[in-house]
Structure 1
Amino acid sequence: MTEPKYETVKQALQQQIQAGKLQPGDKLPHEEDLMKQFKVSGITIRKALTELADEGVITRIKRKGSFVNGTQPADHSSHLIAFILSAEDNFDVSYMKIIKGAQQAAAEFNYSLIVEWSNENLAVEQASIQKMLDRKVDGFLIYPFDPVRSKDNYQLIEQNSIPYLLVDRYNVDHPSYFSGCDNYDGAILATRELIRLKHTKIKFASYHFFLHSEQERFAGYCSAMRQAGLTVTDEDLLTRIDYDGLADSILKREVTALFCSNDKIAIEIIGQLTGRGLKIPQDVSIIGFDDWDHSSNLSIGLSTVRQNFEEIGRNAANLLNQVIRGKTHSSNTKILSGVTLVIRESTSENPYA
């Protein structure tokens, strides 16, 4: 009998993966391109991709595409890791970089990564976790929106004796395995750069100060300021920004630089201040944290602290694999990825020093 067309497509894609033409983490061509390549309908392509996803060969992410997990073990045993992403912005490329790093590392140990997108809603996050528990996954990677509020959801995983690891954010009062970046030292790098540029009136702008990662960045900022002999008061922490008041303080030279807890708030601040007639960096220097993909594409390139998101993902999957295999002796091992300073046009020497 003639082989179904979707099976032909499926086997051809599997052969490309096994031959190394498609590597773990690679994105498959768009459905339209596959239709042209195999001269079949969209229904046939979707059927082939659905079966590959069900078998753990690829991961399909809504509005983003299909990504290679890697070849499966010969015995076809179920080696599955769930990645729960409680994301504010599903189109943030940094999430995709973390997923790619985790997929590449997981594939090396014959694990398939199942990505489940959640949001700020705890009930949705819990439903995603339960869904993956029902699939008998071997472990969880979790990127939480608020790791403190999600504590009960972690306990649901613990009750099922499944190992899990938090990515980027963690709860200091609920120890867990963790993969993130060196927030404290990154903040010191950023603050020292502003001080090197002769800025002494530097404020810290927060995005979500309830996150321990932002608190660590603030602590690094405070440390660098005090080491330079500069005082830090409660007024130097901006959690709800009055942009008219901030613009006025800049014009009065009461503020000459801002260290922002992430690039999103830095970009927002640049937009708000330039909209009020201020010039960056002539009137105020601004530095961010993350090296978000849009940071270098602004009319004013944003100086920032760069995280290696793919490395964070790889570290997360590697550590979780060690936990699953019983190779760790601590219940709260943390791996911190290094950071680097990236200088662009949003910072300059203080002209009033």
Structure 2
Amino acid sequence: MKPPVIADVARVAGVSVPTVSRVLTGSVPVSPERRARVMAAIKELGFRPNGAARALATGGQPLIAVFAGDTTRYGYASTIQGIEEAARQAGYMVVISVVDADDRRTVDAAIDHALGQPMAGAIVLEYDPPGVAALAAMPPWLPVVAAASGKPSDEQVAHAFMDDRAAAARATRHLLDIGHHTVYHVAIPSPGRPSARMLGWRDALTEAGAVVPPVLYADWAPDSGYDAGTRLALSDEVTAVLCGNDELAMGLTKGLTDAGKRVPEDVSVIGFDDHPLSHLWTPPLTTVRQDFVRLGQKAFHLLSTQIDSGTVPASVRFVPDLILRSSAAPRAARVADVG
């Protein structure tokens, strides 16, 4: 079957093609009753207007929207950088909409504001609860792609995603392989479910028959990593920690050090993301390297394919690399182990 066109929407809604066009562009006021019929027909048919074609027909530059829960954190900003670079090369402009909460009113307001312009499509950064909520609320007629840090939550939407679960499992296995009996985990906030990083950490411990310690939940700030470090320093059983991101790992290292622990002699630490400062930290941070810029570029290429073809492309998976530096070392022998 061919994708529905504007004439199909007009037929189902019982209105003229110009009326449908006015609803989509907002160029001329339309009565609430007719607008409701058009929107119901769009939903029923799964119609997706080609915003790029409309922009070109009117002499404008095609637009895409990026929805993100934050624009300041390293992973978010780098993903947006990749999207913008690829979009600019393809002749698109990018409009960024920050969704700072996951309640329906906030999400709908952000979407309505962005889609007040004739968008060709949208990319959602599905890194947190606001991103998950925004993806679920996208209108069915709009081409949409998600950039994510774990397995796609919605198979009907194309994803460019990092396999954080596999990467976290690899980092955890590395610590077990160099002699640590178990690995503690300081977790970043997750999008309404256990994060892929937490699941990978647990997978590796379970497969190795190691004890799975309680998770320490933190926020995004390095200060929460510092607090976790001071808490973990109270136990001599803690010899290895996997952190949900590098900022937490940096804060954790400082907290451990201030509490009298040495990194890596007493406690090994691994972070996540390969933050630009991670190799300059003391000691240099072993971490999982994520190429967010490339992820953003691929997300745009998926969206461009969907806009041009009218079909949802296959998702693309990236496996991050483990970068070995000085913050993780073999577990030191203890008197209690040999006594």
Question: Structure 2-normalised TM-score?
Answer: 0.70
Partner of 1:348: 329
Q: What amino acid maps onto 1:216 in structure 2? A: A
Equivalent position amino acid for 1:225 in 2: L
Write the distance in 2 (CA, Å) between the matches of 1:280 and 1:145.
30
**2:180 maps to 1:202:** no
Report Cα offsets for 1:153-179 as digits up to 9, x if no partner: 4454325x1122222257736853222
Is the 1:167–1:178 contact (alpha carbons within 8 Å) kept by the matching residues of 2?
yes
Once the two structures are superposed, residues 36-61 of structure 1 have per-residue CA deviations (whole angstroms, 9 ceiling, x without a partner) of xxxxxxxxxxxxxxxxxxxxxxxxxx
User: What's the RMSD between the two structures over aligned residues?
Assistant: 2.9
Provide the C-alpha distance between the structure 1 equivalents of 2:254 and 2:323, rounded to a whole number of angstroms.
20
Q: 1:238 is matched by which residue type in structure 2?
A: L
Q: Is the 8 A contact 1:247 1:276 kept in 2?
A: yes
Do the aligned partners of 2:157 and 2:312 also contact (CA within 8 Å) in 1? no
- In structure 2, distance between residues paired with 1:169 and 1:183: 6
User: How far apart, in 2, do the equivalents of 1:338 and 1:308 lie?
Assistant: 10
Select which of 265, 278, 300 maps to 1:317.
300
Unaligned runs of 5+ in 1: 1-71
Per the alignment, do residues 74 and 110 of structure 1 end up closer, same or farther by CA in structure 2, a change over 3 Å counting? Answer: farther
- TM-score of the superposed pair, with normalisation by structure 1: 0.67
Q: 1:295 to 1:244 in 2, by over 3 A?
A: closer
With over 3 angstroms needed to count, the CA separation of the structure-2 counterparts of 1:344 and 1:315, relative to structure 1, is: same
The aligned counterpart of 1:183 is 164
| CA distance, structure 2, for counterparts of residue 148 and residue 121 of structure 1 | 4
Aligned residues: 270
Q: How far apart in 2 are the matches of 1:346 and 1:144? A: 30
Partner AA of 1:132 in structure 2: A
Structure 1 CA distance for aligned equivalents of residues 135 and 164 of structure 2:
24
Paired with 1:81 and 1:172, the residues of 2 have a C-alpha distance of 22
Aligned: 1:220 with 2:200: yes
Tell me the residue number matched to 1:237: 215
Q: Does 1:113 align with 2:94?
A: yes
| Structure 2 spans left out of the alignment, 5+ residues | 1-54, 219-226, 335-339
Provide the rounded CA distance (Å) in 2 between the counterparts of 1:184 and 1:111.
Answer: 33
Instruction: Give me the identity figure in percent.
Output: 26
Moved more, 77-86 or 130-139: 77-86
Q: 1:158 aligns with which of 139, 154, 158?
A: 139
Q: Deviations over 1:162-200 (max 9, x none)?
A: 122222257736853222211122112211211222111
Alpha-carbon distance change, 193 to 145 in structure 1, aligned in 2, over 3 angstroms: closer
SS in 1 for 2:94: strand
Q: Where do 1:232-271 residues align within 5 Å?
A: 232=212, 235-239=213-217, 243-249=229-235, 252=236, 254-271=237-254
Structure 2 counterparts to residues 1-353 of structure 1, below 5 A: 76-87=59-70, 90-120=71-101, 122=103, 123-144=105-126, 146-147=128-129, 150-151=132-133, 153-154=134-135, 156-159=137-140, 161-168=141-148, 172=153, 176-210=157-191, 212=193, 215-232=195-212, 235-239=213-217, 243-249=229-235, 252=236, 254-326=237-309, 328-329=311-312, 333-352=314-333
